[in-house]
Chain A
């Protein structure tokens, strides 16, 4: 009998992941043992503390460049940068999730199992505080995302994909108001998400089959083996192409790229707004982190084959996002289509396939995450007696009624439109510049053209807010509680700072822009 060889595990490098998953388990215990009236404060405190502790270890690991735990996790520049980004954005999202002063009991339903619309449901909508299960679910999702951007083999990637997706499906279903919409969004997200991850898994199987028979290596799905197989495998390339396509479907679905975007507007609209903000910022970072690693590390030898296809997807995504954003009448759906278009711009950065593309994409993810969190923070504030007033016609005249928040929202919209002195401009500049350098000018032309289309819906909202008279039905803007105010101000300030002085973060992204193999 041969001796069992255990892989070496560097616990310090894995600390952020372990802390988040541990905190999620502690959250489940808190749910069981802490009295109901204390739970909200304890859960929120524990979750925020865990995020900060994980962030501390990410910063502490800054110089770490290694592959650990038997080749499953790569801790390198992009991993640490993206983990840091996810944690910072997740902390802001947690602030939005924890807000309870805008609406009695917060944005979440107390008992998700109570039938929507029943007598019990009306009672709990008025009296009970929201479910505190959202905090362990969110921390599980954050933990999964931290693994997702660090995964160095396809199996780990698949598991972490599910670890962060499954809690998100549930979080979507937990809105306090308009519960039918919320449940419907969760069902759509779940069915399509499971469908996409099944494609991803079959892709894993095909790529595993492709890696057989390389001299001197056993077959496997870690990226070093795949990289070697792409260069020199006796297996049929059909396996590789089909596998790559199926993997891309799974990842592009999470990134909300066309034609795998159809879930995005429905889910963004139906989900509780803090959860939408969390998805728009953090899921985007995680999905593109994995996409970058798969295509830069594992399949880089096959770039000639995937660039035209992904380029077409990028153009389609930008077009669909920009054109359909014009026709939207609901602010959350508008932001969803804007998020789709932004996935297209991010893909342009990915397809640059050079160091600038990598750092530009990472910078874009952070900048967009801050702006989109701030945007959804404003959406949670514009309310009437019926909850959030998301229909665009209701936003007419908002500038007269509460100029301060309308001004903040205008600033964020201008950032989305890519006006100079906002982070939207610097981040688009970074990815487009990298793409030109990488020889993908056709993508940049499409990107600039669609940006011009996309400016129209943003400016329409701005004009509506400032130039219309407030009517009877114009809702009031609630005075935000401390948590939402903090998240909103951080988002707006980051949007401004990254637009005026992007240097430090760009340098950080540049220094981090190298994968270990």
Chain B
């Protein structure tokens, strides 16, 4: 690889942190359950990026293997999450988390 195209691994860590923060803030400020859920997925993928980058820095494969496991977990989570959000949506015709307000205090 040409020296010109190679990027310091630190930048990837910064990118991962930025993505994670965007996801974390997104969960707090958005209202649609699907968007919230996408923000959580963004956080998981930010963690994956960090794992792979650390794996590169450390020069071993552990981080990459962990990233594979995380992908499987994320896929399983999507199945469960969409099922729950769908069942609520079919009753209420809305996926906004502000409309789900029967439980409080």
- A residues engaging B (CB < 8 A)? 112-113, 115-117, 155, 158-159, 162, 166, 169-170, 173, 179-181, 183-188, 190-191, 194-195, 198-199, 201-202, 204-206, 208-209, 211-213, 218-221, 265-266, 269-270, 327, 333
Contacts and interface: CB of A to CB of B under 8 A. Distances in A.
Nearest to A115: B90
10 contacts: A113-B87, A169-B80, A188-B100, A190-B84, A191-B37, A194-B77, A198-B24, A209-B54, A219-B63, A221-B62
Interface string B21-50: 001100100000100110010011011001
A208 B51 contact: yes
Contacts, number: 135
Given A115-B91, A218-B60, A219-B62, A191 B47 contact: no
B103 A185 contact: yes
Contacts of B105: 327, 333
B69 A159 contact: yes
A186 B84 CA distance: 7
B98 to A, nearest CB: 12
Candidate in A166, A194, A213, A219 with the most chain B CB atoms within 10 angstroms:
A194
B102 to A, nearest CB: 5
A24 to B, nearest CB: 14
B103 A220 contact: no
A170 B73 contact: no
Instruction: Label chain A's interface by main secondary structure.
Output: helix
A187 B91 CA distance: 13
B83 interface: yes
Contacts of A113: 87
B88 interface: yes
Nearest to B101: A184
A202 B77 contact: no
Contacts of B46: 202
Contacts of A269: 103
Given A198-B43, A269-B103, A191 B97 contact: yes
Given A159-B69, A198-B40, A209-B57, A187 B47 contact: no
Contacts of B57: 209, 212
A204 B51 CA distance: 8
Contact of A205 (B50, B76, B88, B91): B50
Nearest to A327: B105
Contact of B58 (A158, A202, A218, A270): A218
Contacts of A186: 84
Interface of B: 13, 16, 20, 23-24, 27, 33, 36-37, 40, 43-44, 46-47, 50-51, 54, 57-58, 60, 62-63, 66, 69-70, 73, 76-77, 80-81, 83-85, 87-88, 90-92, 97, 100, 102-105
Given A202-B46, A209-B50, A218-B58, A270 B103 contact: yes
Contacts of A187: 33, 84-85, 88, 97, 100
A198 B23 contact: yes
Contacts of B58: 208-209, 211-213, 218-219
Nearest to B90: A115
A226 to B, nearest CB: 12
A413 to B, nearest CB: 21
> Lowest 4 A-B CB distances belong to which pairs?
A198-B43, A205-B50, A209-B54, A266-B103
Contacts of B23: 198
A117 B87 contact: no
Given A190-B80, A191-B36, A208 B54 contact: yes
A183 B62 contact: no
A202 B50 contact: yes
B97 A208 contact: no
Nearest to A172: B84
A162 to B, nearest CB: 5
A209 B57 CA distance: 8
Nearest to A266: B103
Contact of B27 (A158, A195, A201): A195
B66 to A, nearest CB: 5
Candidate in B24, B46, B81, B84 with the most chain A CB atoms within 10 angstroms:
B84
B81 A190 contact: yes
A113 B63 CA distance: 39
Contacts of A266: 103-104
A191 B40 contact: yes
A183 B44 contact: no
B76 to A, nearest CB: 6
Nearest to B79: A166
A202 to B, nearest CB: 4
A180 B100 CA distance: 9
B63 A198 contact: no
A158 B73 contact: yes
A125 to B, nearest CB: 14
Nearest to B87: A183
A173 B103 contact: no
Contacts of A194: 37, 40, 77, 81
A201 B47 contact: yes
